[in-house]
């Protein structure tokens, strides 16, 4: 299993908005230059973040801003905004296990609780990290780089 790159791209976008937002208009083209990802993909992620109420995007070349303080936005907020998790379930169960097989007939009973516990642990950890943590680390690494 692998979470798509939309999550790390979204966090990268927030770091750029915070780092460069006072000096530049942070547009999809600007972000594409930093992420080295097609601007169309960046615009899709920006749309998802905007839909979740995490950012504002001015039309045209107006730029992007964050709608709340970074210490109020968790990784879980970002994850929920950009990842396509069907019905809130991280794990997609294979369709139609055989009811003729004793394993297939019982696989949901065997796995459902365990998968729920794994997802809950992931979500708890994502909720414990904020974008303010990323800001702090970004500032640290940028200051070390300038030494």
In order of their start, the domains of the chain are 5-145 (1.10.10.10)
95: pLDDT confidence band, cut at 50, 70 and 90?
Answer: confident
- List the beta bridge partners of residue 55: 66
Length, in residues, of the chain: 147
Q: What's phi and psi for 56, nearest 5 deg? A: -120, 140
Q: Which residue has the tokens 């296990």?
A: 97
Residues in contact with 118: Cβ distance below 8 Å, sequence separation at least 6, in sequence order: 90, 91
pLDDT computed for residue 89 by the predictor: 77
Q: For residue 98, what are the β-bridge partners?
A: none
Q: Which two tokens stand for residue 55?
A: 């950012």
Of the chain, the percentage scoring pLDDT greater than 90 comes to 72
| pLDDT higher than 80, residue 74 | yes
For residues 127-147, average pLDDT: 91
H/E element holding 91? Answer: none
Contact 90, 115 (CB under 8 A): yes
Q: Which of 16-25, 71-80, 88-97, 121-130 has the lowest mean pLDDT?
A: 88-97
């Amino acid at each position: 299993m692998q979470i798509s790159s939309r999550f790390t791209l979204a966090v990268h976008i927030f770091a750029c908005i915070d780092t460069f937002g006072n000096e530049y208009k942070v547009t999809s083209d600007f972000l594409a230059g930093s992420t080295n990802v097609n601007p169309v993909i960046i615009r899709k992620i920006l749309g998802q973040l905007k839909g979740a109420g995490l950012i504002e995007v001015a039309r045209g070349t107006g730029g992007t801003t964050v709608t709340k303080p970074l210490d109020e936005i968790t990784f879980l907020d970002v994850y929920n905004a950009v990842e396509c998790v069907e019905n809130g379930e991280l794990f997609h169960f294979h369709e139609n296990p055989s009811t003729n097989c004793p394993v297939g007939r019982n696989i949901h009973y065997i796995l459902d609780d365990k998968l729920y516990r794994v997802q809950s642990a992931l979500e708890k950890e994502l909720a414990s990290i904020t974008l303010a943590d990323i800001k702090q680390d970004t500032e640290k690494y940028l200051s070390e780089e300038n030494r």
